[in-house]
Amino acid sequence: MRENYGNKRQPIMRILAAGLVILLICLEVCLFLVSVLRNSYRNEISADFQEHHVSTGEALDNSIDCGVEIVENAAVALGNVEYEYCDERIYSVLATYGAFQNMETLTYVPLSGCLYYEGRKYDKDYIGGSWQAFWEEMIDKSGTVVTLTPIGYDPTYRELLISVPVYYNNEFLGYMVGTQSLQNLFTEETYNYQNRMGECYLVSSLGIIISRSDDCVMIPNENIDFAESILEYSDKSEKSNREIQLLGNAFNLKKESGNVNIRTQEGDSLQISYYPLKSAEGLYFLSCYNDNLVDDKVQPLIYRSVLSCIIIIVLMITIIVYVWATAKRANITIEKLAYEDPVTKGKNINFFKEFAIGTMNVFKETPFVIYRFDIANFRYINEAYGHMRADEVLTSCIRNFDMTFGEKELCVRMNADQFLAIIENSSGVEKRLVQFRNAVNEEARSHGIKYPIRFKTGVYQIKKHDRDIDVMIDHANVARKTLNGDEKEMTAYYTERIVNDMRKVDRIESDMQRALATGEFRVYMQPKWDIYLNRVAGAEALVRWIKADGTMIYPDEFIPVFENDGFVEKLDFYMLETVCQRMEEMIEAGKKIYPVSVNQSRLLLHSPDYVTNIDRIIKKYHIPKNMIELEITETVFLDERDKMIETTNLLKECGVRLAMDDFGSGYSSLNMLKDIPFDIIKIDREFFSESVTSQHSQWILEKIIEMTSGLGMEVICEGVETKSQVLLLKTIGCRMVQGFFYSKPIPEEEFYEKYCESESYE
Ligand code: C2E
Ligand code: MG
Ligand code: MG
């Protein structure tokens, strides 16, 4: 497969690249969204946690305040002077207020040192030293005091002690003491949220853990020193140390609530929120939570988001792959339609143009030539062997070219049997072309095609400054058109001469219509001579183009051009009409007239109205029978034979004679003489001139004259220039001649003046 150096269009790659970019962007956006989501969740949970922490601290405060209120009310009740201060009253007050739910115990401790509790009075001795610490702490305290049960009492079981002084008639009698359990503090509903999120601790200002929520893993149960545990738990980085320091300061300076962040040894981030209890001085409510916990909450959400992203991405990939596959398929089809030749399955002209431009650009220093060729008489191959085999020949041309020529070279079929190739003009090019032609011929022969495959080739050598590929192809085509298929050398090169000829043709074509209208086409007559009687026996009308400036152009120059563009039909009828008109005038003037022959282009035979027009002219000018002869050249294609027979027979019915012009110049067929009703055979000048020098040719000429005379035809020898030629013709029995020896073609007026004045026509 040749690389198309010119084809830069790759829509599939563009679609794919665009798809991948979109995919990457999506991926990026997804990751970004996930991280935004994660962070916003973290922040939200963190804020939520802190908020809950404060409200939980406040709930704790409320609960303690409630206890304080009960104890205070009990103290007030006992100090009520409306009642007698006696043991019964004390029992009654204790029973009433001790029954409240959040009151663990309610005890009355009078100054005497004894103790009232649950309907009993205990002596000072009975209580022992356990209250010693209490008294020490209470000394000089005249208001409500909320404190912890003293240390040493039971370190794992500590309660909140609420003591309120009791006054009776302004006399201080003792303390009403209530206890609240701190042990089950965090099992209550209020702390659920904090418990769920992390771990809750109630810590004294000395950093000792008083109470904690269930399942605390951060600080093991046996460890009661919060500050020490946290220090151990942290990663001991500078930042963590600083944060721990901040926490310590908050404890020491009894600061409002707040929070610190510590990084753990596992690399997690630990948030500790603190809240100093307002109801119990020196007590701190702490909640700790680990980032991991947040992740646990956020993870399912993130998983769901990531899953959605993956689904979207997979969908997108599927769509991209689908679009890509469809585009690729469509591209192949489009490329096939746009660049493939359906007959040979090779490339077509569109591809060729892109390829040629691209190749010339890439290999700037390499000389290239454009070959524009067709198969001579391909119509014959088509008809004789059928379309299928003819197409095989076309395909074989492409195949063999590809096998013979290189990657930089390409041959395509344009249409019908027209080919176009770009070939590197290197030293071996001729050899390769011969190789190519031989290979095509050999393949054709192997398929039973006996007819030789000959190429009519126009060549254009590409020049450095050439840019337009269409122009280059046109040049090669112009060169090809100079060949008619009969030449030995079937290759023509685009040259200056061809350009000049083309210009000439252009000029002729642009002038012809006007020339016909202004009468620049003139009738010249060349007499036909009866050499036995030595006098004029007829004439041939020959056209001359005499321009306004007097220059004369001979028919050889313009007739082929007119035959090409169809103008010859008009000219031939013009000549015939002029000749007939003159003949009628001569008859009317009583002058002598001779049979006049008029040349007819083969093209006329294809014109549907040809016979009708001839008939019309003959009748219009009342031409006597057989006074007009129509000369038709012998070169007739095989497929025209039947048409010729039909037309010529009709022409004869119009009262004209028929002459075969230039007999012996081409490939005459004796069949033609048999089938077509010719009256006159005009032997070609070239054929005749050979007869003069060669005995062999003379003998053939003699036999032709004998044969045609035998067929009842008249023979005229054209181009007789010498006396000796006349003598020779006399001896071999040719009576009529035409040539410069007797007269050159002369203007019609001169002819009529010279030969028609003397006698009148009978
Ligand atoms: P043609 O019909 O064979 O005409 C004879 C040509 O031979 C004429 O050339 C004539 O001048 C030339 N000729 C005659 N005797 C001699 C001679 O002794 N020696 C030499 N060397 N030449 C001689 P012309 O007039 O140049 O015409 C050339 C051809 O042009 C004609 O060949 C004919 O085929 C064609 N032609 C001329 N007039 C017409 C026309 O009106 N219509 C058509 N379709 N073709 C025409
Ligand atoms: Mg002629
Ligand atoms: Mg002739």
Q: Is the dihedral of CA 204, 206, 211, 212 positive or negative?
A: positive
Q: Is the CB of 82 under 6 A from ligand 1?
A: no
Pick the more confident residue, 631 or 15: 631
Q: Is the CB of 684 under 6 A from ligand 1?
A: no
Block residue for tokens 């929120």: 273
- Tell me the average pLDDT across 697-707: 88
Which pLDDT score, from 0 to 100, does residue 545 have? Answer: 96
736-738 and 521-530 strand pairing? antiparallel
Q: Does residue 553 register a pLDDT over 50? A: yes
Q: Where are the alpha helices (DSSP H) in 340-377?
A: 349-362
pLDDT band at 669 (very low <50, low <70, confident <90, very high): low
Pick the more confident residue, 488 or 283: 283
Q: Does residue 231 register a pLDDT over 70? A: yes
- Give DSSP secondary structure letters for 219-265: S-TT--BHHHHHHHHB---HHHHHHHHHHHHHHHTT--SEEEEEEBT
Q: Is the CB of 659 under 6 A from ligand 1?
A: no
Q: Is the CB of 542 under 6 A from ligand 1?
A: yes
Q: Is the CB of 279 under 6 A from ligand 1?
A: no
> CA angle 58-62-68, nearest 5°?
140
Q: Does residue 8 register a pLDDT over 60? A: no
Q: Does residue 9 register a pLDDT over 70? A: no
- Tell me the average pLDDT across 495-519: 88
**Burial status of residue 126 (CB atoms within 10 A of its CB: 0-12, 13-18, 19 or more):** exposed
Q: Does residue 151 register a pLDDT over 80? A: no
Q: Kindly report, as residue ranges, where domains of CATH 3.20.20.450 are found in the chain.
A: 520-755
Q: Does residue 636 register a pLDDT over 60? A: no
Residue 544 DSSP class: E
* C-beta separation of 323 from 19 below 8 A: yes
Q: Report the separation in Å between the CA atom of 682 and the middle of ligand 3, taken as the mean of its atom positions.
A: 7
Which pair of tokens denotes residue 419? 């080919």
- B/e letters for 432-461, b = 16+ CB within 10 Å, e = fewer, are bbeebbebbbebbeeeebebebbbbbbbbb
Q: Is the dihedral of CA 13, 15, 21, 26 positive or negative?
A: negative
* C-alpha 290, offset from chain centre: 55
Which pLDDT score, from 0 to 100, does residue 390 have? Answer: 93
pLDDT band at 480 (very low <50, low <70, confident <90, very high): very high
**Which among 376, 210, 255, 279 has a CA at the least distance from the CA of 64?**
279
For the chain, how are helix, strand and coil distributed in percent, rounded to 5? Answer: 50, 20, 30
Which pLDDT score, from 0 to 100, does residue 37 have? Answer: 78
List residues bridging with 261 in a β-sheet. Answer: 271
Q: What fold is seen in the domain 340-494?
A: Alpha-Beta Plaits (3.30.70)
Average pLDDT, the chain: 85
Which pair of tokens denotes residue 157? 């079981």
**Interacting residues of 240 by C-beta distance below 8 A, sequence separation 6+:** 234, 262, 263
| 711 C-beta neighbours (distance < 10 Å), count | 11
Q: Does residue 761 register a pLDDT over 60? A: no
**Which among 673, 676, 677 has a CA at the least distance from the CA of 703?**
673
**Burial status of residue 755 (CB atoms within 10 A of its CB: 0-12, 13-18, 19 or more):** buried
Q: Is the CB of 557 under 6 A from ligand 1?
A: no
CA-CA-CA-CA dihedral for 754, 756, 757, 759, to nearest 10: 130
Kindly report the protein residue whose alpha carbon is nearest to atom 35 of ligand 1: 555
- Under CATH, which number does the domain 1-183+299-330 receive? 3.30.450.20
Which pair of tokens denotes residue 339? 């660049």
Which pLDDT score, from 0 to 100, does residue 639 have? Answer: 56
Pick the more confident residue, 245 or 140: 245
746-747 and 418-424 strand pairing? unpaired
Q: Is the CB of 719 under 6 A from ligand 1?
A: yes
> Mean pLDDT lowest for which of 574-578, 686-690, 736-740?
686-690
- Tell me the average pLDDT across 726-737: 92
Which pLDDT score, from 0 to 100, does residue 220 have? Answer: 78
Pick the more confident residue, 762 or 523: 523
Please state the φ and ψ torsions of residue 340, each to the nearest 5 degrees. -110, 145
Q: Is the dihedral of CA 740, 745, 750, 751 positive or negative?
A: positive
- Tell me the average pLDDT across 691-714: 86
CATH 3.20.20.450 fits 520-755, yes or no: yes
**Interacting residues of 66 by C-beta distance below 8 A, sequence separation 6+:** 102
List residues bridging with 175 in a β-sheet. Answer: 109, 165
* C-beta separation of 358 from 5 below 8 A: yes
Region of 281 on the Ramachandran plot (φ > 0 left; ψ -120 to 50 alpha; else beta): beta
Q: Report the separation in Å between the CA atom of 738 and the middle of ligand 2, taken as the mean of its atom positions.
A: 10
Q: Does residue 762 register a pLDDT over 60? A: no
680-683 and 714-718 strand pairing? parallel
Q: Is the CB of 559 under 6 A from ligand 1?
A: yes
Q: What is the number of H-type helices and E-type strands within the chain?
A: 22, 26
Q: Report the separation in Å between the CA atom of 665 and the middle of ligand 3, taken as the mean of its atom positions.
A: 9
Q: How large a percentage of the chain has pLDDT more than 90?
A: 39
Q: Report the separation in Å between the CA atom of 146 and the middle of ligand 3, taken as the mean of its atom positions.
A: 148
Q: Is the CB of 340 under 6 A from ligand 1?
A: no
Ligand 1 atom having least distance to the Cα of 741: 18
Which pair of tokens denotes residue 38? 């994660």
Residue 315 DSSP class: H
**Local structure of 683: helix, strand or coil:** strand
Block residue for tokens 């089938």: 675
Which pLDDT score, from 0 to 100, does residue 759 have? Answer: 52
Which pair of tokens denotes residue 433? 């072309």
pLDDT band at 191 (very low <50, low <70, confident <90, very high): low
Which pLDDT score, from 0 to 100, does residue 253 have? Answer: 72
- Give DSSP secondary structure letters for 443-481: HHHHTT--S---EEEEEEEPPTT---HHHHHHHHHHHHH
Kindly report the protein residue whose alpha carbon is nearest to atom 45 of ligand 1: 599
Q: What is the largest CA-CA distance in the chain?
A: 193
Q: Kindly report, as residue ranges, where domains of CATH 3.30.450.20 are found in the chain.
A: 1-183+299-330, 185-290
pLDDT tens across 363-376, in order?
988 999 999 999 98
Question: What residues are neighbours of ligand 3 (ion), with CB under 5 Å?
Answer: 661-662, 718
* C-beta separation of 4 from 354 below 8 A: yes
- B/e letters for 386-423, b = 16+ CB within 10 Å, e = fewer, are eeeebebbbbbbbbbbbebbeebbbbbbbeebbbbbbb
Which pair of tokens denotes residue 344? 């040979």
- Under CATH, which number does the domain 185-290 receive? 3.30.450.20
Q: Does residue 259 register a pLDDT over 60? A: yes
β strands within 71-169, DSSP E: 105-110, 115-117, 120-122, 145-148, 159-168
Q: How large a percentage of the chain has pLDDT more than 70?
A: 90
Which pLDDT score, from 0 to 100, does residue 599 have? Answer: 97
Q: Kindly report, as residue ranges, where domains of CATH 3.30.70.270 are found in the chain.
A: 340-494
Q: Does residue 760 register a pLDDT over 50? A: no
Q: Of the segments 84-88, 428-432, 627-631, which one has the largest average pLDDT value?
A: 627-631
pLDDT tens across 395-425, in order?
999 999 999 999 999 999 999 899 999 999 9
pLDDT tens across 52-66, in order?
888 888 888 888 888
Q: Does residue 192 register a pLDDT over 70? A: no
269-276 and 258-263 strand pairing? antiparallel
